[in-house]
Chain A
Amino acid sequence: DAGVTQSPTHLIKTRGQHVTLRCSPISGHKSVSWYQQVLGQGPQFIFQYYEKEERGRGNFPDRFSARQFPNYSSELNVNALLLGDSALYLCASSRRGLAGSSYNEQFFGPGTRLTVL
């Protein structure tokens, strides 16, 4: 089975531009989460979507937005790019959106490396 896929692999933008990153979850997974990993740090949670609704949001400015489509794929949009947005953006999918009483493993994609000049 195909794993989580992300596109593009690499992206170079200039300050002030807008960027859209894409993620396709594992077949049958209904939840997608986005993480930002700045060089030398651990991933930081940005958003979680489940059944096309936002279920969680991290401490990121309104320049960051996301959505989930009927086929459960997702887009992360970042407006007015800043140098500090340069990072690896990771997408993770899981079967369900609720932690509940049993573990709901998140499977990560290979990431999109965004460089802002």
Chain B
Amino acid sequence: AQTVTQSQPEMSVQEAETVTLSCTYDTSESDYYLFWYKQPPSRQMILVIRQEAYKQQNATENRFSVNFQKAAKSFSLKISDSQLGDAAMYFCAYIPGNRGSTLGRLYFGRGTQLTVWP
């Protein structure tokens, strides 16, 4: 079974500080992709960053970076220099890269609500 677990229902951070959101996943696939999505109160699901499982180098997008530990099946998101606009629900998600009946299916965690304090 393919599952995604986010163990932190809520996190908070002071503006300009750094925060790390945790995610673990379980899969028997060798080829897959991992994502962090942001869902603000507007409900629009926005892709923050993605990581290809075959790449050893951790993905980085401006203030957002990941720590991908393939053997441990861990995929954490680090937000540096946090801004008020980063406040949102963050979802970790996984999609298998191999062909099969679950093509195109994203598996999501339950989310982590991030609060940013001024």
Is A58 a contact partner of B104 (Cβ separation < 8 A)? no
Asked whether, in the complex, the Cβ of B98 is within 8 Å of the Cβ of A99, the reply is: yes
Q: Across the interface, do B104 and A110 meet the contact criterion of CB distance under 8 Å?
A: no
Flag if B104 contacts A99 (CB, 8 Å).
yes
- Describe B's contact surface by its main secondary structure: loop
Within 8 A of A (CB), among B50-106: 50, 52, 91, 93, 95-99, 101-106
Q: Is B36 an interface residue (CB 8 A)?
A: no
Interface residues in B7-64 (C-beta closer than 8 Å to A): 31, 33, 42-47, 50, 52
Q: Are B104 and A55 in contact (CB under 8 A)?
A: yes
* For the complex of A and B, 3 pairs with smallest distance between CB atoms: A42-B108, A108-B45, A45-B105
Chain A residues in the interface with B (C-beta under 8 A): 31, 33, 35, 40-45, 48, 50, 55-56, 58, 88, 90, 92, 94, 97-101, 103-106, 108-111, 113
What are 22 A-B pairs with beta-carbon distances under 8 A? A41-B110, A42-B110, A48-B105, A50-B103, A50-B104, A55-B103, A56-B101, A94-B104, A98-B99, A98-B103, A99-B95, A99-B96, A99-B99, A99-B103, A99-B104, A101-B31, A101-B97, A103-B97, A104-B104, A106-B104, A111-B43, A113-B43
